[in-house]
Chain A
């Protein structure tokens, strides 16, 4: 189980996470939703060991985040991060070198599915192709936890379908999936649990069906209610 306990993460005067408490259980598929700047990426980076909490703790299987958790948790960040010299085949070698759970056949199948060629230079890929590569490399790990940070960001409609299908195929009872997005609608068909984050704290969490039954509303309506609407502002901005 991946657990955040009283986690505070500050950047200067701003708190990205403000006494956050949440757990992610094995075998479930979570949507981590919230507007930009709500703390979703910081949460994932803490779980990936790339960012350290200012206070509180993040543990996986009751162990602090470190070499052990990194061998069990696969993380895909929003930014491009592969070395400039690499071709897609070098990315495959890198993952195979460092991650015992990396399945090369699965990676090659995913590349084929995403219409990517192993000889392509990573630096020359379009943003959409780079995103597909990151997702292929992450999903090719047969990790216990797979975290995808905004996997559909900047992807065209057809690409979104490819990615959603790849994620659906990759989900399995042995793995926990945490997929972040600032829009819930696009994840609705993939996930069975939702964690809504606002101002660095969890404002709503639970199974989709339970939440719908409890509040008598769709998740999208709840999302709009929690994060508000700026319809009132738009008229002012456009001078109407």
Chain B
């Protein structure tokens, strides 16, 4: 665990300038947006809205590039000698990349929720002058009451899917690096392998859903009162449960396969 935490630390430190630039840049734009809103400076307001929207939609791709980059650069550049020379198993090394990805993804979502929350609060205050922050938060929580189970299942499903996708790309990268060494076609082949692995996984997913879908998918509208019951009903009744199960099984399988290839076959 100690070694894993140390690798996470260095994966964050390696790109600290880029991460800080995103944090400061988005903060400055959000501040400009708030100032433009409060001072009714319409041109600046429109510009900041456009930039924030672009940033929001591109956040997923930036996260994907970062998550893949922390592994692919280690495989293709000489700086990969640093982590791979340490007395660390590939399980710990690849595990640390996934943890780093989850930390950066969580930080990005917190940032989006923070900026979105501020903007929504300002918009709500315009519709209802004198609206307090505490009251606004309470209203939202009241609205969500009864849906926490579904929210939890959706979040868990999203995390499982995200990890599964990243691991699929890692597997494609490890495979192409093993098969092609330093060939320039490596990137293209990785992409092809990633598509191939995804096609195989989709077929497996389809077959499993066909076989087990009817067994798991029961009683979605079951009566539930407590949050625990809501969670249980949502988990048991939702197709998300099957998706989570599949993603976890696939992710674990791909994780061990990628670790094995990296440990036994892959040359830097």
Asked if A82 and B16 make an inter-chain contact with CB atoms under 8 angstroms apart, the answer reads no
Say if the beta carbon of A238 comes within 8 Å of chain B: no
Cβ–Cβ < 8 Å partners of B265 in chain A: 52
- Enumerate A64-112 residues with CB–CB distance to B below 8 Å: 66-68, 70-71, 75, 77, 79-85, 94, 97-99
Determine, out of A43-51, A159-167, A180-188, A225-233, the stretch whose residues face the partner at the interface. A43-51
Q: Is the interface of A mostly helix, strand, loop or mixed?
A: loop
Complex: chain B residue closest to A10, CB-CB? B181
Bound CA span A22–B143, Å: 72
Known: A80-B78, A82-B79, A85-B14. A51 touches B86 (CB 8 A): no
Asked if B181 and A11 make an inter-chain contact with CB atoms under 8 angstroms apart, the answer reads yes
Known: A51-B267, A82-B79, A82-B82. A94 touches B10 (CB 8 A): yes
Asked if B82 and A99 make an inter-chain contact with CB atoms under 8 angstroms apart, the answer reads no
Report how many residues on chain A are interfacial, defined by Cβ distance under 8 Å.
26
Asked if A66 and B82 make an inter-chain contact with CB atoms under 8 angstroms apart, the answer reads no
Q: When the two chains form the complex, which single residue of A51, A71, A99 contacts B268, counting CB atoms closer than 8 Å?
A: A51
Asked if B264 and A52 make an inter-chain contact with CB atoms under 8 angstroms apart, the answer reads yes
Number of A-B contacts (CB under 8 A): 64
Q: Which of B14, B17, B265, B267 has the largest count of A CB atoms less than 10 A from its CB?
A: B267
Asked if A50 and B81 make an inter-chain contact with CB atoms under 8 angstroms apart, the answer reads yes
Asked if B17 and A85 make an inter-chain contact with CB atoms under 8 angstroms apart, the answer reads yes
Cβ–Cβ < 8 Å partners of B268 in chain A: 45, 50-51
Asked if A66 and B78 make an inter-chain contact with CB atoms under 8 angstroms apart, the answer reads no
Asked if B88 and A83 make an inter-chain contact with CB atoms under 8 angstroms apart, the answer reads no
Bound CA span A163–B265, Å: 34
Q: When the two chains form the complex, which single residue of A11, A12, A67, A82 contacts B88, counting CB atoms closer than 8 Å?
A: A67
> Could you mark each residue 76-89 of chain B with 1 if its beta carbon is under 8 Å from any beta carbon of chain A, else 0?
00111110111111
CB distance from A147 to the nearest CB of B (A): 11
Say if the beta carbon of B263 comes within 8 Å of chain A: yes
Bound CA span A235–B136, Å: 89
> Could you mark each residue 127-143 of chain B with 1 if its beta carbon is under 8 Å from any beta carbon of chain A, else 0?
00000000000000000
Known: A70-B87, A98-B87. A81 touches B81 (CB 8 A): yes
Bound CA span A97–B263, Å: 22
> Could you mark each residue 86-128 of chain B with 1 if its beta carbon is under 8 Å from any beta carbon of chain A, else 0?
1111000000000000000000000000000000000000000
Asked if B84 and A50 make an inter-chain contact with CB atoms under 8 angstroms apart, the answer reads yes
Asked if A49 and B84 make an inter-chain contact with CB atoms under 8 angstroms apart, the answer reads yes
Say if the beta carbon of B3 comes within 8 Å of chain A: yes
CB distance from B108 to the nearest CB of A (A): 21
Say if the beta carbon of B42 comes within 8 Å of chain A: no
Q: What 7 A-B pairs are tightest by C-beta distance, nearest first?
A: A71-B87, A98-B86, A70-B87, A81-B81, A51-B267, A81-B78, A67-B87
Chain B residues near A (Cβ < 8 Å) = 3, 6, 9-10, 13-14, 16-17, 78-82, 84-89, 181, 263-268
21 CB-based A-B contacts, threshold 8 Å: A45-B268, A49-B84, A50-B81, A50-B84, A50-B267, A51-B267, A67-B88, A67-B89, A70-B85, A70-B87, A71-B87, A80-B78, A81-B81, A83-B10, A83-B13, A83-B79, A83-B82, A85-B14, A94-B82, A98-B86, A99-B87
